[in-house]
Amino acid sequence: MTDFPRDAILVVLETSASGVLEDAAPGLLGAAAAAGTPVALVLAAPGAGGSAATEAAALGAAQVLIAESADPAALGVPGVDALAAAAERVRPDAILISHSLNGRDLAGRYAVRSRSAVSADAIDVARDEEGVVAHHSVYGGAYNVASTATFGAPVITVRQGSIDARAAAQPEVSETLTVVPSGKPAARIDSFEEVVGSSSRPELRGAAKVVAGGRGLGSQEQFELVGQLADALGAAVGASRAAVDAGYIPQSHQVGQTGVSVSPQLYIALGISGAIQHRAGMQTAKTIVAVNKDGDAPIFEVADFGVVGDVFKVVPQLISALEARKK
Amino acid sequence: MKIIVLVKEVPDTYGDRKLNLETGLADRAASDVVLDEIGERALELALKYADANDGADVAVLTLAPEGATATIRKGLAMGADRAVHVCDEALLGADLGLTAEALAAAIRRQGFDLVVTGNVSTDGSGGMIPAMLAELLDVPHATGLSSVEIGDGVVSGTRPVESGVQQVSADLPAVISVTEALPEGRFPNFKGIMAAKKKPFEVLTLADLGVAADNPEMARSIMLTVAEKPPRASGVKILDEGDAGDKLADFLVANRLA
């Protein structure tokens, strides 16, 4: 039996169906390293545990427990069973999970089962004399809140893309975790279709750079300008609710209170007025750039660099200037 | 078919939302409150099923302070058959765990085939209550559904996740949560508003539910500090004089963003 570090932070990492670790993995391990010694639990697709463990060690996991689901069609429950077994073995000071849909389900079920306290949607994790503390940005970034558990290891979900810290690579120390299934009823995953990105653009959630367009783009065809700038910067494409409602782009690209919340290094808002609901989903971005015809648009209140001008003039010039620099 | 829909009173995101800096709790007096839109979509799903199927019973369930009655009544006006309001002083500032416990106890007391919730509320954005309820009620969860089919003894739907799209199904009883992709809630009409006044409206305390807010065996999440973030200072704003694209490129390069 391996011994686990006394200041272990258990980090749960999911793999995709094709076996690679989720995008949130580097940030989760980075956050864990700042608060203790990262120990990873890899919830892997069958056959993918070994490679995922190697990946986790390279991202900073000092030790890796591998759990390949015996019943991959069961939704959620096998992951909870694995986490319960892992926490029992590792006895961590905190458990970190991505604030993704699956991560939230896992955190919620596990917290109930283990009678643990849960801190949701953290943007940073730290340790003080008392234990591990989660930091949150609430009400669309208007308030900073710190939370912790009354006792025991808190279960903390971490907002995707919010952690910049990265952990140093560790030599791989991994073992397969023995999991006794709880037999709890679970929904079935009847089929799965992997999204084959129609372009090489990064996923909006967790992207380091986001270029977003609003109703100011005027039409679905003209919205492609957003994509062109995104490609020039290697950014993901986002949109305001107005642009989604106008049918310029699918809802999965919506940034805001009711869409995706993003905390990228760079957020460029094109033709977006910046209603409160939109700002709520993006104002924790490190740098915000806005281009809008209307100099009174509220987006300028949060912009680090604002251009009052026509997106159809400014953006093409920006793209060619960026391309000229690359040469 | 007994369907319980979770609804929630939240500060309207169209206005300013405030936290009380002394207690860390939502300052309910500071902003208008509304029925959370995602809960209205969840209710619409249940009502559509009830429209098409005889013998469906739709209840709205909420956990909220005393003043929330009017907001919950909107759910009845939209067409729900009954409302259940879990209301107790001891729930002020309840964390996710205690909230889930109280809701699960109320759901168990009603009996259910299907619990429908929104995926994430606009104020808390924890998005964990559905899975917590499923664990407490010992039933399957199917969360984040962008389309839902309620069948005979089974619920199925489309579940977009990070890497793709799942088709999932669960035997009833089950807990599901739905996304914004579902249709908006219907507007209550005059007849509905009048009828709402006569519909059963049950108020339950923690004692009624047999839940202890201060159970020493349960770890709770507590707030350590709360601070208002200084408003983000606005930066440079320039008027395009034909070279704004180039200036913007300079800014991005100077900040190592391009």
Each domain of chain B, given as residue ranges in start order, spans: 2-209
Least confident window among A218-222, B30-34, B77-81, B139-143: B30-34
At A283, the pLDDT band (50, 70, 90 cuts) reads confident
Q: Taking CA atoms, what residue in B is nearest to A318?
A: B245
Pairing of strands B2-6, A266-270: unpaired
Nearest C-alpha neighbor of A105 from the set B240, B96, B230, B94: B96
Whether residues B126 and A144 touch (CB distance < 8 A) is answered with no
Please determine, for residue A197, whether its predicted confidence score (pLDDT) is greater than 80. no
Tell me, yes or no, whether A17 and A156 share the same domain: yes
Tell me, yes or no, whether A112 and A235 share the same domain: no
Rounded to a whole number, what is the distance in Å from the CA of A215 to chain B's nearest CA? Answer: 18
User: Is the Cα dihedral A73, A77, A81, A83 positive or negative?
Assistant: positive
Residue at A57 is within a domain: yes
Count of CB atoms situated within 10 Å of the CB of A75: 24
Identify from A102, A133, A151, A296 which residue to disrupt to test chain B contact, counting B C-beta atoms within 10 A and taking the largest count.
A102
At A81, the pLDDT band (50, 70, 90 cuts) reads very high
Nearest C-alpha neighbor of A257 from the set A100, A137, A140: A140
* Chain B contact set for A104 (CB, 8 A): 126-128, 131, 143
Residue at A20 is within a domain: yes
Rounded to a whole number, what is the distance in Å from the CA of A57 to chain B's nearest CA? Answer: 22
Element (H, E) at A118: strand A118-128
Q: Would you give the end-to-end CA distance of chain A in angstroms?
A: 56
Domain C-terminal end among A176, A201, A226 = A176
What does the alpha-carbon distance between residue A298 and residue A274 come to, in Å, rounded to a whole number?
5
Q: Could you tell me if A55 lies within 8 Å of chain B, comparing CB atoms?
A: no
- Report the pLDDT value the prediction gives residue B21, as an integer from 0 to 100: 76
In chain A, positions 136-175, which contact chain B (CB-CB < 8 Å)? 137-152, 154, 157
What does the alpha-carbon distance between residue B14 and residue A279 come to, in Å, rounded to a whole number?
11
What does the alpha-carbon distance between residue B77 and residue A146 come to, in Å, rounded to a whole number?
39
Q: Could you tell me if A184 lies within 8 Å of chain B, comparing CB atoms?
A: yes
- Report the pLDDT value the prediction gives residue B210, as an integer from 0 to 100: 95
Q: Is B62 exposed, middle or buried (0-12, 13-18, 19+ CB in 10 A)?
A: buried
Tokens of B158: 């489309």
* Chain A contact set for B14 (CB, 8 A): 276-277
3-class secondary structure per residue, chain B: CEEEEECCEEECCCCCCCECCCCCCECHHHCCEEECHHHHHHHHHHHHHHHHCCCCEEEEEEECCHHHHHHHHHHHHHCCCEEEEECCHHHCCCCHHHHHHHHHHHHHHHCCCEEEEECCCCCCCCCCHHHHHHHHHCCCEEEEECEEEECCCEEEEEEEECCEEEEEEEECCEEEEECCCCCCCCCCCHHHHHHHCCCCEEEECHHHHCCCCCCCCCCCEEEEEEEECCCCCCCEEEECCCCHHHHHHHHHHHCCCC
- Report the pLDDT value the prediction gives residue B14, as an integer from 0 to 100: 61
Distant-in-sequence, close-in-space partners of A144: CB < 8 Å, separation ≥ 6 = A135, A136, A137, A138, B225, B226, B227, B228, B229
Tell me, yes or no, whether A162 and A278 share the same domain: no
Packed helices B37-52 and B69-78: angle between N→C axes, nearest 10 degrees: 30
Whether residues B228 and A143 touch (CB distance < 8 A) is answered with yes
- Report the pLDDT value the prediction gives residue A217, as an integer from 0 to 100: 94
Give whole-number Cα distances, A90 to A118, A276, B155, in Å.
18, 43, 37
- Report the pLDDT value the prediction gives residue A295, as an integer from 0 to 100: 93
- In degrees and rounded to multiples of 5, residue A231 shows phi and psi of -65, -35
Give whole-number Cα distances, A216 to A255, A278, A311, B28, B244, in Å.
16, 14, 8, 35, 18
What does the alpha-carbon distance between residue A149 and residue A162 come to, in Å, rounded to a whole number?
21
User: Is the Cα dihedral A249, A253, A257, A263 positive or negative?
Assistant: negative
Q: Taking CA atoms, what residue in A is nearest to B231?
A: A142
Domain C-terminal end among A176, A193, A221 = A176
Q: Taking CA atoms, what residue in B is nearest to A189?
A: B168
Are the C-beta atoms of residues A178 and A85 closer than 8 Å to each other?
Answer: yes
Pairing of strands A8-14, A94-98: parallel
Tell me, yes or no, whether A106 and A223 share the same domain: no
Helix spans in A190-310 (H): 224-233, 241-245, 276-280
At B61, the pLDDT band (50, 70, 90 cuts) reads very high
Tell me, yes or no, whether A150 and A250 share the same domain: no
Element (H, E) at A121: strand A118-128
* Chain A contact set for B248 (CB, 8 A): 289, 291, 305, 307, 314, 318, 321
DSSP helix/strand/coil, A59 = coil
Count of CB atoms situated within 10 Å of the CB of A79: 25
What does the alpha-carbon distance between residue A108 and residue B99 come to, in Å, rounded to a whole number?
12
Please determine, for residue A153, whether its predicted confidence score (pLDDT) is greater than 80. yes
Residue at A203 is within a domain: no
The per-residue pLDDT for range A205-217, each reduced to its tens digit, is: 878 899 999 999 9
Residue at A199 is within a domain: no
Nearest C-alpha neighbor of A210 from the set A199, A218, A201, A197: A201
- Report the pLDDT value the prediction gives residue A19, as an integer from 0 to 100: 85
Tokens of B224: 């350590």
What does the alpha-carbon distance between residue A290 and residue A303 come to, in Å, rounded to a whole number?
6
Task: ipTM value, please give it.
Answer: 0.89
Q: Which residues pair with B161 in a beta bridge?
A: B164
Q: Taking CA atoms, what residue in B is nearest to A257?
A: B122
At B257, the pLDDT band (50, 70, 90 cuts) reads confident
Residue at A204 is within a domain: no
Least confident window among A83-92, A266-275, B34-43: B34-43
Give whole-number Cα distances, B38 to A88, A256, B12, B116, in Å.
37, 14, 13, 11
Tell me, yes or no, whether A12 and A122 share the same domain: yes
Tell me, yes or no, whether A219 and A142 share the same domain: no
Residue at A16 is within a domain: yes
Q: Could you tell me if A287 lies within 8 Å of chain B, comparing CB atoms?
A: yes
Closest in A80, A154, A291 to B221, CB measured: A154
Say how many domains are in chain A. Answer: 2
Tokens of A281: 């989903």
The per-residue pLDDT for range A227-278, each reduced to its tens digit, is: 999 999 999 999 999 999 899 998 889 998 777 888 888 999 999 999 887 9
Tell me, yes or no, whether A30 and A80 share the same domain: yes
Count of CB atoms situated within 10 Å of the CB of A251: 17
Residues B90-117, mean pLDDT to the nearest whole number: 94
Closest in A75, A104, A305 to B248, CB measured: A305
DSSP helix/strand/coil, A101 = helix
Q: Could you tell me if A194 lies within 8 Å of chain B, comparing CB atoms?
A: yes
The per-residue pLDDT for range B145-173, each reduced to its tens digit, is: 999 999 999 999 999 887 788 999 999 99
Least confident window among A15-29, A91-105, B105-119, B194-208: A15-29
Nearest C-alpha neighbor of B197 from the set B83, B63, B113, B91: B83
At B227, the pLDDT band (50, 70, 90 cuts) reads confident
Tokens of B195: 């009828």
At A320, the pLDDT band (50, 70, 90 cuts) reads very high
Residue at A215 is within a domain: yes
Q: Which residue did the predictor score with more confidence, A284 or A31?
A: A31
Tokens of B26: 């939502």
Least confident window among A130-134, A265-269, A316-320, B77-81: A130-134
Closest in A104, A105, A111 to B97, CB measured: A111
* Chain A contact set for B239 (CB, 8 A): 295, 307-309
Tell me, yes or no, whether A38 and A108 share the same domain: yes
Are the C-beta atoms of residues A41 and A126 closer than 8 Å to each other?
Answer: no
In terms of phi and psi (left: phi > 0; alpha: psi -120 to 50; beta: otherwise), the region of A4 is beta
Cis status, amide bond into A78, omega within 30 of 0: no
Element (H, E) at A25: helix A25-35
Q: Is A286 exposed, middle or buried (0-12, 13-18, 19+ CB in 10 A)?
A: middle
What does the alpha-carbon distance between residue A61 and residue A54 come to, in Å, rounded to a whole number?
9
At A327, the pLDDT band (50, 70, 90 cuts) reads low
Identify from A77, A162, A192 which residue to disrupt to test chain B contact, counting B C-beta atoms within 10 A and taking the largest count.
A192
Rounded to a whole number, what is the distance in Å from the CA of A99 to chain B's nearest CA? Answer: 8
- Average per-residue pLDDT for chain A: 91
Tell me, yes or no, whether A240 and A282 share the same domain: yes
* Chain B contact set for A322 (CB, 8 A): 249, 252, 258
* Chain A contact set for B242 (CB, 8 A): 313
Packed helices A311-326 and B244-254: angle between N→C axes, nearest 10 degrees: 50
Domain B2-209 matching CATH 3.40.50.620: the answer reads yes
Q: Which residue did the predictor score with more confidence, A293 or B235?
A: A293
Q: Which residues span the domain enclosing A304?
A: 209-326
Tell me, yes or no, whether A28 and A137 share the same domain: yes
Tell me, yes or no, whether A162 and A49 share the same domain: yes
Q: Which residue did the predictor score with more confidence, A82 or B234?
A: A82
Please determine, for residue A200, whether its predicted confidence score (pLDDT) is greater than 70. no
* Residue A304's CATH number: 3.40.50.1220
